Structure 1
Amino acid sequence: MSRLVLAIDTATPAVTAGLVRCDGSGDEVLAERVTVDARAHAEQLTPNIVGALDDAGLAADRLDAVVVGCGPGPFTGLRVGMATAAAFGHALGIAVRGVCSLDAIAVGTTGDVLVVTDARRR
């Protein structure tokens, strides 16, 4: 059975929204929108979601789940991503799941992996 998932990550300066079709044979990225601006998470996330849906030719009511990056990252960016994911999940009546952003970055790699991101703590 195929599932359509909205993926959101706001743990870094990249405000990311993507649509992924998941089935037993693998995952397919249908569309993604990324805006790199550490100070525009709130302004860019929803337009990126809407743009990705448009790019994929899909309506939001077709979504089966939302996955959101849980950090580590700056509090404000994470709050925007999690609140937006929760709002979509609540409005559409679909599951919302959190994923460690470092795990998401490392997925698909082999062997030992070290993921390093800028914590922006000077």
Structure 2
Amino acid sequence: MLLLALDTATPAVTAALHDGGRVLAAADEVDARRHGELLLPAVDRVLAEAGAELGDVTGIVVGTGPGPYTGLRVGLMTAVTVGAARDIPVHGLCTLDGIAYAAAGAGLDGPFVVATDARRKEVYWARYADARTRLGEPAVDRPADIAELVADVPAAGAGARLYADVFTGFRPGPPEHASAAALAALAAEKLAAAGDDGDAGFLPPLPLYLRRPDARVPANYKVVLPR
């Protein structure tokens, strides 16, 4: 097994290789405006560091968001394209699940929340019973609207840091952005538990936006009659 993991749902451009037992290489760079420019060089770096080639990869793991439209699509389209070109499976995982997995590895135990910055003074967030168990579906909300739900609950992620007055249980230690290394480790764990014929519970590699697109067809067209 050699998994290539990618995520561009947050400001982090992150890639990693996992052999089913451990992370062989990882590359992380935070730059919210350069996902398309930085992702493929990051893939090249992790392959080179691990002494592997793209043809050695047996599966792709990709963060499905939630995340902003443009950045999120970079990772997903790259994953789907590589998967199709190499005829290998593409496994989708919720980006928040990857952050939760990494946060627990950094010492965040028990029930907690993960929140990322959704811009527009909102957060993408979800509750977790533990590193592997999300409680309900991810959501996008204004922090003030969920204050009673998240107050004093241990929290991780850039959204929790940004609105620490609401996420009063924010812990500064765990990762704030997506981690391809964590996604890869979580995916490897799921594949091992499922076995050859089991359902590992992956998502399709489709974007989880949680919002309607900004661009809309005008409701009323201006009618111009010929003379």
- TM beyond 0.5: yes
Please list the CA deviations of residues 14-72 of structure 1 after superposition, one character each: whole Å capped at 9, or x if unmatched.
000100111xxxx3110011111100000000010011100111011110100100111
Question: For this pair of structures, how many residues does the alignment match?
Answer: 116
Whole-Å Cα distance in 1 between the matches of residues 120 and 83 of structure 2?
A: 32
2:72 aligns with one of 75, 78, 83: 78
1:11 aligns with one of 5, 9, 12: 9
The residue identity in structure 2 corresponding to 1:101 is: T
2:59 aligns with one of 59, 65, 72: 65
Whole-Å Cα distance in 2 between the matches of residues 65 and 121 of structure 1?
A: 35
Superposition misfits of 4+ residues, deviation over 3 angstroms:
none
Question: Would you say 1:116 and 2:115 are equivalent positions?
Answer: yes
SS in 2 for 1:119: strand
Whole-Å Cα distance in 1 between the matches of residues 24 and 8 of structure 2?
A: 19
TM-score (norm 2): 0.50
Unaligned runs of at least 5 residues, structure 1: none
Whole-Å Cα distance in 1 between the matches of residues 120 and 44 of structure 2?
A: 31
Shift of 1:113: 2.2
Whole-Å Cα distance in 2 between the matches of residues 19 and 113 of structure 1?
A: 28
Unaligned runs of at least 5 residues, structure 2: 122-227
Which structure's residues are more often strand, by fraction?
1
Whole-Å Cα distance in 1 between the matches of residues 112 and 3 of structure 2?
A: 26
**Aligned-residue CA RMSD (Å):** 1.1
